[in-house]
Amino acid sequence: MRTYTLTRPRYSFSVHVWLFDLIKRNLTDQSGSQSLYDAVVNFVHSLSNEEYKKTFEKWFERMQLCIDSQADEILVIIFKKLAKVEVLYSLFDVNKRLNKISHDTAFTNDLPILMSASDGLIYSLPDLILDRFCSYILPKIHEKIEWLHLESRSMERILLATNYPNLYEISLHNIQPKTAINLFTGKIFYYYSSYDRHIKSINEINSRINFWSSLIR
């Protein structure tokens, strides 16, 4: 008579491993594939919700231990795979460790506050996310921001949300050249940065405005 046994699947997820081992410990050898299938189904259905709950709680504890044991540098590498606005919005003030990571210059120095779609188009952030950025996140990281990427619908609100003492460059998206000229021509931008950087920024803005003006004419 042929005996059917269970073998652990490769690359198993932790909860799957728990369930597999639990089934294996509680089932006897089966005489056929159908009887094995029926025995597994019946056993899984017999498990209580409390049993699953305890298992997931233990799994979360193990995952937290894995996270806590890793260096912050590893988490930064992982989070770099995400959009910076997602990192800031999701991690900011969650806990002390994640808050420290969200303040890393990798996510704050060069900051696009917009959404880039797969079709290459640029959109404003949803109002709920934009509200949190303008009222809470930007005022807490404003000194670290050196470059902002903005789109026309939300740029005024973002620029007025706080002071940016170290900002030296702004990239504008979805904005017409004439609008940009009207926005910046004759304006003086008071950012409490070094004198040299301030003068350099104003000169760069003026030269770009002159360039756009020559194109429009």
pLDDT of residue 174: 83
Chain centroid to Cα 143, Å, comes to 21
Q: What is the mean pLDDT of residues 123-137?
A: 92
Cα dihedral sign, 102-108-109-113? positive
Q: pTM to 2 decimals?
A: 0.54
On average, the pLDDT of the chain sits at: 75
Res. 209: pLDDT tops 50 = no
27-60 per-position pLDDT tens digit: 777 778 888 888 888 888 888 888 778 777 877 7
Query: Domain residues of the chain, as ranges?
Result: 14-65, 86-175
